[in-house]
Structure 1
């Protein structure tokens, strides 16, 4: 398994109606978060315990909320807010 990010429950629910340029910034920042999580949790599939809680990230044009699921090796974006 390799690390990735995705909208949860899906892009239609989380990002519908958000500007394309803003979503590109969200994707860029999400890619950075994936690289950081991959470095922190070298083998996420063997992770035991409670992962970090919900976090917020500022990006140009707004912000988004996400959480990291180490065991699934996934960063889940659960809300986007375009300004």
Structure 2
């Protein structure tokens, strides 16, 4: 299993969110990144199509993200907080 991680775009994307929202986004995004590392075992050498834009929700948070398989990361592009 590769050392997948998550990022958000743009850099100030999470500014203004409540601390509990930011923490929940981090937990959910890391869980998604870990799962992606188990699905895309080839990581940087992967040659297939990317899975595209996806959404995952848990509790009071929903994230929309792209999976960068070759970069071994997910990029969170939208957050909805229902708290």
Distance in 2 between residues matched to 1:41 and 1:63, nearest whole Å: 23
Query: Which consecutive residues of structure 2, in runs of 5 or more, have no partner in the other structure?
Result: none
- What is residue 10 of structure 2 aligned with on the other side? 9
- What is residue 69 of structure 1 aligned with on the other side? 68
Relative to its length, the structure with more helix (as a share) is 1
- What is residue 30 of structure 2 aligned with on the other side? 31
Distance in 1 between residues matched to 2:58 and 2:22, nearest whole Å: 9
Aligned length: 81
TM-score, structure 2 length as denominator? Answer: 0.85
Distance in 2 between residues matched to 1:43 and 1:2, nearest whole Å: 12
Say if 1:15 and 1:79, in contact at 8 Å, map to a contact too. no
Say if 1:19 and 1:82, in contact at 8 Å, map to a contact too. no
CA RMSD of aligned residues (A): 1.5
Say if 1:22 and 1:60, in contact at 8 Å, map to a contact too. no
Query: Which consecutive residues of structure 1, in runs of 5 or more, have no partner in the other structure?
Result: none
- Specify the SS of the correspondent of 2:78: strand
TM-score, structure 1 length as denominator? Answer: 0.85
